[in-house]
Amino acid sequence: MKPLLTIARNAFIESLRQPIVLVVVLISGVLQYLNTAISAYSMGYRTFAGEVTGDDKLLFDVGMGTLFLCGILIASFIATAVISREIENKTVLTVVSKPINRASIVIGKFFGVMGATLLATFIMTFFLLLALKHGVLSTAADDLHMPVITFGLGAIFLSLAAGAFTNYAYGWSFTQTALLVLTPTIAIAYLAAAPFEADWKLSPLTDVIKPEVIKACIASIGALIVLTSIATAASTRLGQVMTIMVCLGVFMLGLLSDYFVGRHAFENQPVGILEVTEPVKPGMELFDKPGDEFLVYFGAPYDLDIKPGDRFFFGPSPNGLGMISPTFDPPDPSLDLNRILFEQNVPGAVVILEATPESMRIKQFGGSAVRLARPPQGGDWVFLEPTKVNWSARAVWSLIPRMHSFWLVDAVTQARFIPLSYVGLVLVYSLVQATGFLGLAILLFQGRDLG
């Protein structure tokens, strides 16, 4: 581990010394400020409670896109600087000549690049938070948010001054010092500006803390972890321009994978989407015992021919992905569906007792209830058959990083609660994807001629 950590530390320091990192970070800050003007006249005024409302919805959307793009550029630039350029200049031969295997070199370089990317992303995230605090300039008469501008520019000028002074007085790296000073000062700048309104009046504490926005920003870090591993793998064989193109290509493919591949991985014909559900009698709310019945109502009439005895499946997606109902056999047509059977030899099933174009009455039928994670609820899609899986399409879909998993902007702008468990799963997913691409990077580097 000691050689690996040494390589990671050196790669981290070398990455921070790349002028392009500071340039892209500062450009992201400028773009975030410009977003406050270009996002106007889009979503109207604030009409409901939420952390991001009105025109700020588009501001957050464009701001997150800016964060993603700048993060991709930083990861690509510094990955090629510490790997591809070292291979081209033959300086990597010095490391390979020592008793260090090539896998440790790749993994150490990745951790160094990832550390620098995360530090830059941390700074750019606070630029985004400052832009959200500033808000959209909806009209030319709107006042600038002076606390945001004062503290934000103060943090930037302080970091640049520190970098210039230490470079002149001690010969320290200007870029490295400026980034390391800007990391805590930009966070302090946001905390200092957060309690104030544009005219320096104190704002409510609820406007200061935005937990859902923070969760969305943390989830975006998972995407940058994956893209950094891709940049590391590409830089073992490609130059800077091609590495950037590969990262952008995978990013775009990940955004479009649901449409081109994902929709073919799971196939099912939905009946419709539920609007309201309720138990027929008190005590049936959990819908987990034989004989329990539910009434479900659809948001729009369906046009399928449904008969009593048909099976009832439900789930959160229109193609049957993540089905709540497990697969079970249809009931014996000779049995009376209105009876509550407790014989263990009668398989459990969720069946439709009555159906109209707008509603259904469903029942847990059989000797044992079908195990459900939860009862049906509004927003669920209804099906008559289990979901069919196209395993070849699913395999391809699983290999492509799903960038939609990291994009939680829609949840924030629609005032939805983001569970911490989901953010944790997203980060675990990013680590699994990054491990796969690091394996590919090691494979590519093992066969690379360095002489």
* DSSP reduced 3-state for 401: coil
Residue-wise pLDDT tens digits, 260-305: 888 888 889 999 999 999 999 999 999 999 999 999 999 888 888 8
Average pLDDT, the chain: 87
Q: Is 320 left (phi over 0), alpha (psi -120 to 50) or beta?
A: left
Residue whose C-alpha is closest to residue 173's, from 181, 182, 164, 185: 164
| For residue 43, pLDDT beyond 60 | no
Residue-wise pLDDT tens digits, 154-181: 999 999 999 999 999 999 999 999 999 9
Q: Do the beta carbons of residue 241 and residue 76 sit within 8 Å? A: no
CB atoms within 10 A of CB 19: 11
Q: How far apart are CA 70 and CA 74, in angstroms?
A: 6
Q: How far apart are CA 183 and CA 94, in angstroms?
A: 33
Residue whose C-alpha is closest to residue 403's, from 65, 78, 70, 129: 65
